[in-house]
A and B are shown apart, each in its own frame.
Chain A
């Protein structure tokens, strides 16, 4: 009854080295096909779907903690925020009126030019539930997936502007690559001059900042509010810091509800930013 059995002399099964060779070969194969449409994505999606209930349960304490922190937010903060939002709403409504007018005018001009009407963007509201533990990439997990109509490549925006892009879609959740990710590029255009550029994230060394075209490190001065402003900042090369809340997922979860533009194409083309 003791844990000492004589070693099997003949039936040892496959040797450890053979098993290692097989497993290592499989690993290298998976690395090769990872993040490519087809087999790699489907393996990842299948495993992620199996893991989803566990992940959901494990993330609940953090969601609750965020909810509690939200609940305990000071009253003064709320009043200040409310005043700010009222001002913002006023500005937005003015802008909205102007946009409406421009849309009508645009439709009229398009009709004159016999162009097809540009469809308005549908969007899906989602919450950030976690930050992926992978140290090498700036990605977050949101709580909407292909079941909710999320498509890979959709742009993700929050109250501050462009936030990232959906890179992997699972049935019940999706992974969003932030614009600060070193491997992510966002096409931008200066609204005033029409200069086009590509915005890269550069998060590797030091605090997060964005790098603009021609590999010129350019910290941003203001938070990004919309694509045209990014473009203007790119062209003027000015600024200090852009805080994409990468270091604090809880705050992100609490305050922002990034809505995903449901668009078949990836990011908006440089000519039509948002």
Chain B
């Protein structure tokens, strides 16, 4: 069962999945180092790519991986240990539970539906820090989930590109 007009895809390469996740972790680390605490509005690219693989390959990238990457982000950001891990786990859970429905929608519709999900992940982190007594991060933090949702179509195009190649390569045919 699939949406009318949706192209058939090649199988995903596990190496590509792993390297995209690691690359986004590195990019996240680099950007957050560059901007320091003022980069509170930065989109969490790692979370976005995790959601992408949760939606498209829920049986390969699951909640355990989300937890592991969250833990790494916690240590790098010197945040409360478990803060990102919890947010990513919850994000991953909801992404997996809605993955069948989500894939019936066009990409912009998917982005729209992901806004509450991404916002929840951020809200969870703010709530955790607020409960611990660290206060709230300020209004610019609201930009982050919006940016993430905006980047969803871009991420979809890039990460699905390897699977959209023809399954029988032909030198004479374009694409």
Contacts and interface: CB of A to CB of B under 8 A. Distances in A.
Interface of A: 1-4, 8, 16-17, 19-20, 23-24, 26-31, 33-35, 40, 43-44, 47-48, 51, 54-55, 58-59, 62, 130-139, 141, 168, 175, 182-183, 204, 246-247, 249
Given A16-B93, A136-B137, A3 B62 contact: no
B64 interface: yes
Contact of B62 (A19, A35, A51, A138): A19
Which 7 pairs between the two chains have the least Cβ-Cβ distance? A30-B82, A133-B32, A27-B86, A131-B36, A132-B78, A34-B81, A27-B82
Interface string B118-147: 000000000011001111011001000000
Chain A CB within 10 Å, residue with most, of B12, B75, B92, B138: B75
B63 A27 contact: no
Contacts of A8: 59
Contacts, number: 145
Nearest to B140: A135
Contact of B89 (A1, A23, A29, A62): A23
Contact of A20 (B71, B80, B90, B141): B90
Chain A CB within 10 Å, residue with most, of B30, B63, B77, B133: B63
Interface string B68-112: 001110011111111101100110110011000000000000000
Interface stretch (B3-11, B45-53, B148-156): B3-11
Contacts of A27: 67, 70, 82-83, 85-86, 89
A185 B23 CA distance: 39
Interface string B1-36: 010000011111000000000000010011011111
Given A28-B86, A133-B77, 6 more contacts: A3-B11, A20-B90, A24-B86, A130-B36, A135-B40, A249-B36
Interface of B: 2, 8-12, 26, 29-30, 32-40, 58-59, 62-64, 66-67, 70-72, 75-83, 85-86, 89-90, 92-93, 96-97, 128-129, 132-135, 137-138, 141, 163, 167
Contact of A23 (B8, B30, B85, B97): B85
Nearest to B133: A183
A62 B77 CA distance: 17
Contacts of A17: 93
B71 A47 contact: yes
